[in-house]
Structure 1
């Protein structure tokens, strides 16, 4: 700390005849006028934004940027000082850089923009040579603001006059409003937006002008008039209709459309040579129609919908004015849609080096074949296979465990809703996609067991708007079967009947639904919220055919099926100080309720805690349930450290280091619990003292961020261990460290 304070002490560098300018303050004089202004504080904050110049920034009262600037001016500053000056150095702001009159003019101008004409500003520059500092003060005396008495439109012979008049009920300007230049600008933008939706293709808000008349009043009221500037072109006041629509489904710059055939569907001409995309499949994506007034929303929605198909690299919509048919009251546009496709087929191979928090590591190979536009209707087929080998390279008695995994997955995506009735027209923002997924997987954990699993699902995915996504699978089938098991693993199942029951539920048939609200995609939003809510149910339909219990379960096709309801909620909030500094928070909760055939959730549906995307100070599946801790001699505890209930909370501060390297400080807390008591897992049941059973860890991390790709390294240490006796759970100097390697941010 002493070194830091010395490094940031800049007083010795300030020239003798100079004073460091430390900023200014604005005071609005209290009187009968300011007391009646409801938004007086916001006015003050706005005036603060125009203060010039800006002083050198401080961090906890220190000025590191100014310090490294001074040091870099030395004859031999050194490489580190030159580097830090380049990154964070700032030139000093002195008293001589301050011009009070310029800032006074800026304040007066801003007040006039808010209706406070004839206000007064008194400024003063206070200099203290003993500490080589100076600051400015600005005292503002507000004059009574001007208030809107009436707001009306100047008559015009063009149809645009009636179009504007029809929107005035939604005007931003009302009688009694204060004169406000920003509000007037917003009113022009509102009118422009509404007129564009009514077909005024060439309209521009700059064509409008406001004029005020104060001659009719003596108490600072005025009449406000909206009209057109001089020499506004007639076509800006004329609405446009769509006349001809032409779509090029397989467009390239070398195209010669004259050589292509044209197919017309719903008054839309589809021009292509060899059939690339069936016109009847593409037509529902076009929202503007022949004879319809031009509407930019229809254009942007059409572009987004076409882009969501996944077949096209570029979507370009162009409008051509038909001058020969233009009249004083109506004009026409020809719409042309150019679609440039991606390569139809793609093959991707990935050689991965897998490292997990449970000390398993090894190579993995993934191959994915993609066929876009499989049936010439935008269908996408993905076939992927993976082969992996892992060995537990550390962990005491666990060392030497091996596993191999082979998987095959097929995914067919239809860019439309496969349903008995055509519902595509009910979705304006985006057309739902239909997904059909089939997968199979074989896992062989040496010396323990082999596991065969397969799944099939059918469902829909769509965006309701920019932030909201829905994903529902009304058909979701899973089959899970234990293969060959070792005597050691059989002993584990014998000692824990609940674990055995979780593997016996071989068949899962149900419904899953996921709702996502995501503001994090908007980088300009300083406070962004994210919510993901998931519902997973199984066995409801099958349960109507029987009345099985966990002691006497029903079966289907000879397989015992699971019955449960599972809910999870993932809430996140990111506060962005700027585009690189972020404070991120996350709350997660999950709850599973087995019933009927099931007295425990299937193993694949249970919750676990710990690992690189969870509580990073604990290895994956090593936390919980509750206060349970396996014996040190138990080499396979990670199989049963899961539960029916999960709670987690995370906080992380992310900041830039240099280039594409980012840093982070974080704190994580969480655990899992069982709904019912399990004698094999003492202390695992959820109780009212769950807060006292949270595992807590802190740490620091390094991220390598290249565009949207992130490689993450986190080093964490536990400071609270729920499995320790009460009174001994806090340990701020445990000396234990967990290293996590992962791809992507944890939340």
Structure 2
């Protein structure tokens, strides 16, 4: 706790210096600090989407004033401090990271801003508007108020296409009939620009390779009306090149699978599926590369097909660059049709690579320590884009926080071998056309891990996986592992660990079933990839079913005795999770983030309890942050009140039901520093009562009153999407306490969470 207070006092000292050292004394006598602008809109009619108009007008009210934090000017403060003759190393460093040049009243060109305001109003159809400005001044501060008087806007009566040559007239005419521009629409230059882009994009989809939206021009005619109405005409500009108004077809597709080392003289051309594969020697087999290429001879040029091909090729994992270029075949062009030659240049990654990664690992059991991972990669192993990875991991961990516990250090060794095929490996051939967005990858892996937990046990585990992963579209990802096998063997246990198991039969049973064989499936819908979206949604559904197929071969060991397979007791269960998040982005880098999680595991058949490694836990930096990892639950259980529990309670803090909800407000502080205010709620339970917990762990209809709740503040260092996160939280509802005493905001005992990345 003293460690946390030291850093908290340091931050208070830094921020306190902003309060104690006013910047007013640094402002020159003949200047005032510019504090911003306000906009007043005066209109003689109702303005549709006034908020959108206001946002556009405010965007030209420059310059931006100096940034503030809690009423302070940290960037400005360190600018002034750096102007001293000897500012010192710390001030120079803080100026480099946070400093801002001051913005004074003299920097504000109000007449230029007024012209920009009038320009934006005319672009929106408000012709003959007026704009004025006035400064509001104090001793060392100045702000400006802009006032715009907005008359009734001009509105469209008709939208029609002017005469154009064939064949482009027919194509554009059909697009104009589908236009979003409608009668009564306010004159809007932005909408007209979008209309040109829409027409251009659709023309390119049907072969108009050389067309450009700048070739189109709008003309508005108000002569027929005297009530601020106009007719809108779409035309082609004069002297548009002939080749721009004819469609193009692909006459030839050339693929260079090993472009960096290909020799233009000593090359071999392999003709496969109406494509030319040009390479000095067979680097990538055409039959495996061809499914990724959607370009075909005789096909109309379509930039979407080109982008789709480039994206599919880049997902193989064997290429660092994918470059698709088109060459016009002038000698074969006619007045009505142009021809293109498509050249696909593929630059491979280094075939072999070796990487070393030093990690700081924080696990769900509060174990923290360094780990070294060494990875060897071999790409395009069999000439079909396959990737082989082998990783050796060495780690040492010590248990931090929560007092000294048994098993407080651990040594881990791991070896993982992975082979990835950029195609479907299946006994029955699957048509690649079924996967239009991307081709699934087949992933196989075998891993072996050895763990020595001091004072507790020595464990060895092996895992084998075979499955598929693919993107259905930009947002949806599927991952299915029809074969998922793991085996865990407690090679050696200590008397301390044996005592823990003897005290908790449920826990003992969860360790006895060493063999797990089943199927896992994951569905992910992720809109977070669109950084600029105001509303972002994320959904992950995971299903884990084990033991059903292997039960067909299970051997009976007698009544009320679990079956075995190859002499090993196997687990049988089903487990499902739903993780739903929503982000509302507003203002400048401000976000309201919400999350709901629910999970349930059902043991049946050969199992009466879900295996320990598959159970849920609560608390920690990615859960309810006001409670330490695994310190929350199950239910209302309180280890301090359990006089029968004389051993380490860490292994007890699991359950087969988990529910959580999180709410967080994220905001910028300055530069790469971000802040957050959050509240979390959640807990774990058991569907079947564990006698060790006296029924306090069982899920009931009163589960809401058994949620652990907490709130806190966070500081994040966000450098180009790499986030180091510090969250300080305290509980305000502790279900382990007796009823009537659970609500208590215990700010005197906060929990500091350190993590990499945002929690959700």
Settle same-fold status: TM greater than 0.5: yes
Q: Deviations over 1:160-212 (max 9, x none)?
A: 22221232343122233222111111110001100111111111100111112
User: Which of these residues, 48, 69, 89, is aligned with residue 100 of structure 2?
Assistant: 89
Rounded Cα–Cα distance in structure 1 between residues aligned with 2:443 and 2:570: 24
User: Which of these residues, 104, 123, 144, is aligned with residue 132 of structure 2?
Assistant: 123
DSSP 3-state at the match of 1:263: strand
User: Which of these residues, 523, 533, 536, is aligned with residue 531 of structure 2?
Assistant: 523
Q: Deviations over 1:539-593 (max 9, x none)?
A: 3445688999995544444444433322212233445567866554433222222
**Deviation of residue 43 (structure 1)?**
2.8
**Deviation of residue 534 (structure 1)?**
1.3
What's the counterpart of residue 589 of structure 1?
598
1:332 aligns with 2:343: no
Judge which range, 80-89 or 632-641, deviates more.
80-89
1:142 aligns with 2:138: no
What's the counterpart of residue 604 of structure 1?
613
1:286 aligns with 2:299: no
What's the counterpart of residue 372 of structure 1?
379
- Judge conservation of contact 2:263–2:280 (CA < 8 Å) in 1: no
Q: How does 1:165-204 map to 2 (within 5 A)?
A: 165-204=173-212
**Deviation of residue 742 (structure 1)?**
4.1
- Judge conservation of contact 1:26–1:44 (CA < 8 Å) in 2: no
Q: Deviations over 1:417-474 (max 9, x none)?
A: 1231323212221111111222333334344334343333322111122222111122
Q: How does 1:161-560 map to 2 (within 5 A)?
A: 161-252=169-260, 255-350=262-357, 352=359, 354=361, 358=365, 360-361=367-368, 364-392=371-399, 398=405, 401-419=408-426, 420-541=428-549, 551=560, 553-560=562-569
**Deviation of residue 394 (structure 1)?**
7.5
**Deviation of residue 215 (structure 1)?**
2.3
- Judge conservation of contact 2:656–2:685 (CA < 8 Å) in 1: yes
DSSP 3-state at the match of 2:166: coil
DSSP 3-state at the match of 2:259: coil
User: Which of these residues, 598, 612, 615, is aligned with residue 624 of structure 2?
Assistant: 615
**Deviation of residue 715 (structure 1)?**
5.4
Structure 1, unaligned runs of 5 or more: none
- Judge conservation of contact 1:321–1:333 (CA < 8 Å) in 2: yes
**Deviation of residue 721 (structure 1)?**
3.5
Q: Deviations over 1:475-523 (max 9, x none)?
A: 3233334444334333322322211222233333332111122233333
- Judge conservation of contact 2:41–2:149 (CA < 8 Å) in 1: yes
Rounded Cα–Cα distance in structure 1 between residues aligned with 2:185 and 2:533: 29
- Judge conservation of contact 2:18–2:77 (CA < 8 Å) in 1: no
- Judge conservation of contact 2:33–2:102 (CA < 8 Å) in 1: no
- Judge conservation of contact 1:712–1:744 (CA < 8 Å) in 2: yes
User: Which of these residues, 645, 653, 657, is aligned with residue 641 of structure 1?
Assistant: 653
**Deviation of residue 329 (structure 1)?**
0.6
**Deviation of residue 379 (structure 1)?**
1.2
Rounded Cα–Cα distance in structure 1 between residues aligned with 2:358 and 2:242: 63
Aligned length: 739
Q: Give the root-mean-square deviation of aligned CA atoms.
A: 3.6
What's the counterpart of residue 687 of structure 1?
700
What's the counterpart of residue 50 of structure 1?
60
- Judge conservation of contact 1:650–1:667 (CA < 8 Å) in 2: yes
DSSP 3-state at the match of 1:687: coil
Shift of the 550–337 alpha-carbon distance from structure 1 to 2, 3 Å rule, reads farther
Q: TM-score, normalised by structure 1?
A: 0.88
- Judge conservation of contact 1:694–1:722 (CA < 8 Å) in 2: yes
**Deviation of residue 222 (structure 1)?**
2.5
Q: TM-score, normalised by structure 2?
A: 0.87
Structure 2, unaligned runs of 5 or more: 1-14
Rounded Cα–Cα distance in structure 1 between residues aligned with 2:137 and 2:725: 49
- Judge conservation of contact 1:449–1:483 (CA < 8 Å) in 2: yes
- Judge conservation of contact 1:397–1:635 (CA < 8 Å) in 2: no
- Judge conservation of contact 1:243–1:333 (CA < 8 Å) in 2: yes
- Judge conservation of contact 2:262–2:280 (CA < 8 Å) in 1: no
Rounded Cα–Cα distance in structure 2 between residues aligned with 1:357 and 1:510: 24
What's the counterpart of residue 580 of structure 2?
571
**Deviation of residue 597 (structure 1)?**
3.2
DSSP 3-state at the match of 1:115: coil
- Judge conservation of contact 2:540–2:578 (CA < 8 Å) in 1: yes
- Judge conservation of contact 1:570–1:589 (CA < 8 Å) in 2: yes
